[in-house]
């Protein structure tokens, strides 16, 4: 493949939009994914993306703004899971399984009955570079800026609550507020990246960069930075691969980040020395 062939897609506005969204979405998911992974919440990332698909379909059916409706649906789902776990002797994984898959099933049923609101169902499920519009770019930029601001200003309470909820609460941090804030950020992230990644693969975009970063460093601050960079590079490379291989963008982005995982797994020790960590990965 020549250089000209490689840069040719950048002539198209839809592709440039796709690259912007995929790169920013990768960085955003990498950042938020650190909290998801360290809280052992990988399954809720997966469940929330499925649940939001249900909200998207319902919002389309009742005629409210799709993103607003799906976002509110996502937050309600996350809070419902928390409420069920607190009130009944049910584990969080089981509660997530019940609530989010029911929501996803509702979405699938509504799409089959009434058609997909806004764009086709395949694009929502697996991501599609052609589906990215200028408004998607602004949406992801807005969510990324808001998330970066939240991580900046709430860095310490987020870290303390993630690491040691009990002690954080004992020392006066409103851990339930911090948890709710993280759920809102997670819902917004899933919603904003749904077009590029697709519902079925968003969880991988949240989890893989954070896991790779964790394998490379023992410092939380470095993990956040590394994860965001790995996510962004995966988004950029994966979106290019999507165009050239004519494969949906979600799978190519996830496969790119999976390559990072394999490299980190095989050459973790050397890479850790490069990032200033000489110990072994735990």
Partner 1 sequence: MAGALIVVDDLTVSYGGGAPVLIDVDLTIESGDLVGVVGPSGSGKSTLLKAMLGTVDAVSGSVRRVPGLAVGLVPQVETIDWNFPVTVAECVGMARARGLRMPWITRAERAEIAEVLDRLGMAGLGNRHIRELSGGQQQRVFLARALFTNAQVIFLDEPTSGLDVRTRHDVLHLLDELNADGLTIVLTTHDLNGIAAHLPTVVCLNRSVIGAGRPDEVLVPEVLERTYGSPMEVLEHGGMRVVVDAPIDATVTPLRRSGGRGASA
Closer residue to partner 1, CB minimum distance, 134 or 219: 219
Minimum Å distance from CB 161 to partner 1? 8
Q: With contacts defined by CB under 8 A, how many residues of the chain interact with partner 1?
A: 30
- Report the residue from 14, 72, 126, 157 that binds partner 1 according to the rule CB under 8 A: 157
Closer residue to partner 1, CB minimum distance, 8 or 86: 86
**171 in contact with partner 1 (CB under 8 A):** yes
**Which of the residues 221 through 240 are near partner 1 (CB under 8 A)?**
221-223
- Report the residue from 167, 245, 266, 267 that binds partner 1 according to the rule CB under 8 A: 167
Separation of alpha carbons 61 and 114, rounded Å: 8
**Which of the residues 75 through 114 are near partner 1 (CB under 8 A)?**
none
- Which residues have a Cβ under 8 Å from the Cβ of 187 and sit 6 or more positions away? 48, 52, 71, 74, 75, 78
**166 in contact with partner 1 (CB under 8 A):** yes
Three-state DSSP string of 80-95: HHHHHHHHCCCCHHHH
Write the CA distances from 80 to 58, 75, 93, 173, 181, integer angstroms. Answer: 17, 8, 13, 23, 15
- Report the residue from 180, 181, 218, 229 that binds partner 1 according to the rule CB under 8 A: 218
Q: Are 29 and 231 in contact (CB under 8 A)?
A: yes
Which residues lie near partner 1 (CB under 8 A)? 38, 151-153, 155-157, 159-160, 163-164, 166-173, 214, 217-223, 277, 279, 282
């Amino acid at each position: 493949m020549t250089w000209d062939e490689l840069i040719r897609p950048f002539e198209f506005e839809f592709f440039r939009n796709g690259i912007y969204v995929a790169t920013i979405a990768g960085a955003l998911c990498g950042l938020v994914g650190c909290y998801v992974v360290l809280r052992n919440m990988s399954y809720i990332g997966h469940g929330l993306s499925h649940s939001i698909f249900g909200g998207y379909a319902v919002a389309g059916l009742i005629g409210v703004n799709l993103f607003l409706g799906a976002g509110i649906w996502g937050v309600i789902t996350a809070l419902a899971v928390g409420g069920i776990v607190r009130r009944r002797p049910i584990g969080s994984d089981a509660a997530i399984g019940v609530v989010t898959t029911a929501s996803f099933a509702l979405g699938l049923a509504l799409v089959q009955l009434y058609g997909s609101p806004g764009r086709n169902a395949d694009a929502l499920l697996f991501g599609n570079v052609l589906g990215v519009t200028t408004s998607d770019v602004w949406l992801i930029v807005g969510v990324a800026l808001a998330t970066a601001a939240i991580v900046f200003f709430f860095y310490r309470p987020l870290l303390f609550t993630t690491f040691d909820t009990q002690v954080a609460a004992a020392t006066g941090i409103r851990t339930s507020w911090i948890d709710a804030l993280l759920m809102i950020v997670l819902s917004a992230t899933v919603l904003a990246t749904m077009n590029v990644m697709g519902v079925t693969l968003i969880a991988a975009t949240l989890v893989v960069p954070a896991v790779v970063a964790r394998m490379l460093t023992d410092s939380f601050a470095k993990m956040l930075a590394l994860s965001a960079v790995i996510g962004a590079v995966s988004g950029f490379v994966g979106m290019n691969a999507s165009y050239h291989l004519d494969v949906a963008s979600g799978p190519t982005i996830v496969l790119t980040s999976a390559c990072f995982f394999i490299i980190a797994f095989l050459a973790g020790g050397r890479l850790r020395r490069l990032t200033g960590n000489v110990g072994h990965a735990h």
